[in-house]
Amino acid sequence: MPMPKSKPVQTSATPWLLRGSLIVLRRRCGKTTCHCAKGQPHATPALSFSQRGKTRIRTLRPAQLPAVRAALRRYQQAQAQLEGRALAGLRRLTQPQSTRSPH
């Protein structure tokens, strides 16, 4: 009997990953007396990511930025490791048959 596929469990001890980009949303609030009416617009940090072919944006609180940056960095590192393993697999596949190891 085949084992049912299960989703990876995310625990508080498991470092989480995020795919996307940190961006800054800049806007004017519309109040005529606000500094943004004549000067710099308001800036809000956000995470931009693609989900099911659509770009999504989630605004972030400043306190979330360090954790989000770290999760983005972990994702990039994991992606680079996976890419390295895939390239090694391709090299192995394209080796002449006589030089391949049995494992």
Domain that holds residue 37: 21-94
Residue 13: inside a domain: no
Residue 100: inside a domain: no
Q: How far is Cα 17 from Cα 53, in angstroms, rounded to an integer? A: 19
pLDDT at position 3 over 80:
no
Q: What is the pLDDT of residue 98?
A: 64
pLDDT in tens, 39-52: 899 999 999 999 99
pLDDT at position 1 over 60:
no
DSSP string covering 67-85, please?
Answer: HHHHHHHHHHHHHHHHHHH
Mean of pLDDT values over 19-34: 94
Q: What is the pLDDT of residue 6?
A: 55
- State the total domains in the chain: 1
Residue 31: inside a domain: yes
Residue 29: inside a domain: yes
Residue 32: inside a domain: yes
Q: How far is Cα 10 from Cα 97, in angstroms, rounded to an integer? A: 41
Q: What is the pLDDT of residue 79?
A: 95
Residue 34: inside a domain: yes
